[in-house]
Amino acid sequence: MGLRIYNTLTRQKEPFDPLTPGQVKMYVCGPTVYDLCHIGNARSVVVFDVVARYLRQRGYQVTYVRNFTDVDDKIINRANRMKMTPDALANRYIDEFYTDMDTLNVERATLEPRATDHIDQMCRFIERLIEKNLAYEVDGDVYFAVENFRDYGKLSGRRLDDMAAGARVDVDKRKRNPFDFSLWKSAKPGEPSWESPWGRGRPGWHIECSVMSSELLGETFDIHGGGKDLIFPHHENEIAQSEGATGRTFARYWMHNGYVNINREKMSKSLGNFTFTRDLLARYHPETLRLFLLSNQYRSPIDFSDQNLAQAEIGLEKVYALLKRIDDVLRPVPRPEKISTGEYFGRFCKAMDDDFNTARGIGILFDGVRHANKWMDNARESLSPETVSLLQTVRNDMLKMGEILGILTILPALFFEQKRSRSLAAVEIDADRIDQLVRQRTKARAEKDWDAADRIRDQLDEMGVTVEDRPGGAVWKVSRNKIDTEQA
């Protein structure tokens, strides 16, 4: 069976069948650049990064568009407060966005348009809507007339009549229907503005996505994504604008990721219960964050907590430890020219085919970890050619899964080096001193002076260091308890 995607529009999983065979055109709503992004924003970006990676892995040629909303009330307000121009503020937060997303190993989209680069096209689009009687101008403002678009509400599953009853909507007397939304806003003093057929002003929020997507992907394209909170009104309004203007299907598959919750509540800027991605990156390995964000199916909510992050980090270390073990064991063995994928990658792809089920896929990754460890435990002294081949294949499988999930991208040895230096920085331990103690203990053990050896181990333990006596010699690491205590 092929790839299936849950389509918000039909509320069911559908076989994925792109408009043009072999090609996927996908548009995802990007950030409004007025502040640093929090972990909830990052989830959406990471989820669709994985979607694009998997589609490419599956052989599709993917054109992925992710926009920057760089003109908006929040940007203007913040810029005023910070005594900056809105443009400078937007530029700054685009840079900050890239800083965080690059650290998170998010690939750049194929095209990353900015709203303010498409003002002329927006004006032309709005004119089309006015011609079709789907929009009207009042005193330099232009509104979309929701009542004139028959399908209004089809994505979010609501009807105008139902909504009107309990909704808190502004009572703008100039609107024909309270749910009519701005396509163009006339300029107020001190705001950025552009020339238009209706006088100086700036675009409404929803129009940019309709315009830039059709401009860059065509009037009809395959996948449109974003967070669940964009279903209404944003995506509903995009459909109204685009299908109203063109008379054609806008996006064919609508994908929406669930929220990051904190204490079972949605994380959001307005609730003030958010954590910046950057602050988390200071405390956890970037791949820990990715693993955490991908450990639930993308449509489900995911609960943010230090316990869950810590669990993800332990899991990530387990995989890297296994990869390092394989590397060590396989070092003397010549690497084959080409390694075909094996059982685990096959199962992983099956999981991903089912609406990008990364949670199931990660389970399969761990399954492979356990089995590979077992093979090596059983092998003891010498490796059979069969075991070598199994290990080569499973390592290859894991690295391929890692490519799609955006993890396991560095050499295991380097990963543990990074981890060690982060840990040492966190607990302020002197590595030389530890090395010295470990050498003393090794000497004591060689002399079978177990009392002395254990005394040194206790001393290290006190310092928050755990020693492991491995076949190749003793190694040490900073114990988790110590780190957690220091950070609490």
Restricting to residues 247-306, name those near RNA by CB under 7 A.
257-261, 264-270, 295-297, 300-303
Q: Are 355 and 292 in contact (CB under 8 A)?
A: no
Q: How many residues bind RNA (CB under 7 A)?
A: 85
Instruction: Kindly tell me which residue out of 18, 192, 203, 226 binds RNA, with binding defined by CB under 7 A.
Output: 226
Exposed, middle or buried: residue 372 (CB in 10 Å: 0-12, 13-18, 19+)? buried
Cβ 162 to RNA, closest distance in Å?
Answer: 3
Cβ 6 to RNA, closest distance in Å?
Answer: 8
Instruction: Kindly tell me which residue out of 138, 163, 216, 427 binds RNA, with binding defined by CB under 7 A.
Output: 163
Q: CA–CA separation, 228 vs 64, rounded Å?
A: 19
Q: CA–CA separation, 7 vs 255, rounded Å?
A: 6
Residue among 295 and 389 whose Cβ is closer to RNA: 295
Pattern of binders to RNA over 323-352, x per CB under 7 A?
----------------------------x-
Q: Are 11 and 3 in contact (CB under 8 A)?
A: no
Interface stretch with RNA, choices 29-37, 335-343, 403-411, 430-438 (CB under 7 A): 29-37
Restricting to residues 434-453, name those near RNA by CB under 7 A.
445, 450, 453
Q: CA–CA separation, 320 vs 399, rounded Å?
A: 11
Q: Are 97 and 33 in contact (CB under 8 A)?
A: yes
Q: CA–CA separation, 61 vs 67, rounded Å?
A: 20
Instruction: Kindly tell me which residue out of 249, 308, 387, 389 binds RNA, with binding defined by CB under 7 A.
Output: 308
Residue among 364 and 398 whose Cβ is closer to RNA: 364
Residue among 102 and 458 whose Cβ is closer to RNA: 458
Quick one: which of 406, 443, 473 has its CA closest to 57?
406
Residue among 337 and 468 whose Cβ is closer to RNA: 468
Whether residue 233 has a cis bond before it, omega within 30° of 0: yes
Cβ 408 to RNA, closest distance in Å?
Answer: 15
DSSP H or E segment with residue 142: strand 141-144
Instruction: Kindly tell me which residue out of 21, 166, 190, 385 binds RNA, with binding defined by CB under 7 A.
Output: 166
Cβ 77 to RNA, closest distance in Å?
Answer: 11
**Which tokens sit at 65?**
């568009």
Residue among 306 and 430 whose Cβ is closer to RNA: 306
Q: CA–CA separation, 310 vs 293, rounded Å?
A: 13
Residue among 199 and 363 whose Cβ is closer to RNA: 363
Cβ 372 to RNA, closest distance in Å?
Answer: 8
Q: Is 428 one of the binding residues for RNA (CB under 7 A)?
A: no
Q: Are 244 and 149 in contact (CB under 8 A)?
A: yes
Restricting to residues 364-403, name those near RNA by CB under 7 A.
364, 366-367, 369-371, 373-374, 376-377
Instruction: Kindly tell me which residue out of 36, 130, 187, 321 binds RNA, with binding defined by CB under 7 A.
Output: 321
Pattern of binders to RNA over 50-89, x per CB under 7 A?
------------------------x---------------
SS3 (DSSP) at 183: strand
Distances (CA, A) of 379 to 375, 398, 455, 468: 6, 21, 34, 21
**Which tokens sit at 76?**
């203007």
Cβ 194 to RNA, closest distance in Å?
Answer: 20
Q: Is 419 one of the binding residues for RNA (CB under 7 A)?
A: no
Q: Is 158 one of the binding residues for RNA (CB under 7 A)?
A: yes
Helices (H), 331-477: 343-353, 358-379, 385-405, 412-427, 431-446, 450-463
Residue among 82 and 340 whose Cβ is closer to RNA: 82
Restricting to residues 98-157, name those near RNA by CB under 7 A.
156-157
Exposed, middle or buried: residue 322 (CB in 10 Å: 0-12, 13-18, 19+)? buried
Helix 86-103 × helix 73-81 angle, to 10°: 100
Interface stretch with RNA, choices 105-113, 165-173, 410-418, 422-430 (CB under 7 A): 165-173
Interface stretch with RNA, choices 15-23, 77-85, 313-321, 426-434 (CB under 7 A): 313-321
Instruction: Kindly tell me which residue out of 114, 234, 290, 395 binds RNA, with binding defined by CB under 7 A.
Output: 234
Interface stretch with RNA, choices 49-57, 327-335, 359-367, 401-409 (CB under 7 A): 359-367
Cβ 127 to RNA, closest distance in Å?
Answer: 23
Quick one: which of 117, 126, 245 has its CA closest to 184?
126
Instruction: Kindly tell me which residue out of 201, 227, 402, 412 binds RNA, with binding defined by CB under 7 A.
Output: 227
Restricting to residues 181-220, name those near RNA by CB under 7 A.
181, 205
Instruction: Kindly tell me which residue out of 193, 311, 341, 389 binds RNA, with binding defined by CB under 7 A.
Output: 311
Q: CA–CA separation, 199 vs 330, rounded Å?
A: 70
Instruction: Kindly tell me which residue out of 318, 350, 419, 420 binds RNA, with binding defined by CB under 7 A.
Output: 318
Q: Are 211 and 219 in contact (CB under 8 A)?
A: no
How many CB atoms lie under 10 A from the CB of residue 384?
A: 11
Instruction: Report the relative pairing of strands 141-144 and 181-186 from DSSP bridges.
Output: antiparallel
Residue among 10 and 340 whose Cβ is closer to RNA: 10
